[in-house]
Chains A and B, each alone.
Chain A
Amino acid sequence: MKWRDMNPLEWREFINHEVCVTACDEQRFEGSVFTVDPVSASVVLVTFQETGRASVRVILGHAVRAVQILRSGSEEMERRMKGLILPDTTPSLCPEELQSRRENLRLWLERNRFPVTEDGQDLSVASVLTISAPYRPEDCSCTNEIILARVQSLVQNQPYRATTPDDIT
């Protein structure tokens, strides 16, 4: 089956495993699969060198001729690759700190005329934007770019000390 014609569930089967990708011009590349782009079918391979540095190779989907699994991936490899490329998803803050940050941010947004409600651990802004822990600009998600940019810059400019709605601007 042609590589490009596979569906995401089939590509997912290759993630974390060590593979050999045969590309055009008779080239072969080995490494652990970090991902396969569903738009271009491009394969991202990672190899860790003895120096500790990682070498990342993106093989464009149109050039992939065959992908062969050589060895099963390990949890260690998965963890290392994720740590390399994905942002730190586990906040290192304790619940009280997170609570205080969430509250401070909520007050700051309200002061700036944004309706905010708490939705479990997240903050829901105007029902269209969500801010998850630890409530940094990069933790904002929204389908509207303009609102996203506006709220992100607000979060970025949040004053350090706790604010209350009674503070005089």
Chain B
Amino acid sequence: MTLKPPVGVQRLPRGPDPNSRGFDRSSPRFIALCPTSIPSSASTDPDIEEEQRVRSELRERFLRTLLMMTDKPVQFNMYEKVQVPARFGASDIDILNFQVSDLETPLGVQKEALLRCQDVISCSFEL
């Protein structure tokens, strides 16, 4: 990625949420998005062990994918055909927010930014 001078942090007008535009963990929006329990078969089901084993394997693969994505240039494909490149930093445990650096937006390069995963359709990178 070519180095572009970053713009100052933009303070956008406050959105409908009373706090933090959707990042507030006690807001109804966050609680609705964040699963408090994961659906699974009944604990009496003989397949539960296999299900748990597969769940762990799938999750490990996903976490390793996120690890591979770290510090790499990633193209974020968002709603309304918005495509923004950025350097991937980290994700939270529930995959609700992505921390990125050098986010290239039409307003300029944001040095550090938090992307809401609900706004992201997909993201891609090369290995």
Contacts and interface: CB of A to CB of B under 8 A. Distances in A.
A12 B127 CA distance: 24
A60 B59 contact: no
Q: Interface majority SS on B: helix, strand, loop or mixed?
A: mixed
A5 B35 CA distance: 12
Contacts of B50: 9
Contact of A38 (B38, B47, B124): B38
Given A7-B51, A9-B51, A25-B79, A85 B117 contact: no
Interface string B43-82: 0000100110011001101101100110000000101110
A86 B54 CA distance: 16
Nearest to A51: B126
Contacts of B125: 55-56
A54 B126 CA distance: 6
Nearest to B33: A62
Interface residues of B, number: 35
B51 A59 contact: no
B84 interface: no
A159 interface: no
Interface of A: 5, 7-9, 11-12, 15, 23-25, 27, 29, 34-40, 42, 44, 53-63, 84-87
Interface of B: 35, 38-41, 47, 50-51, 54-55, 58-59, 61-62, 64-65, 68-69, 77, 79-81, 93-95, 117-118, 120-127
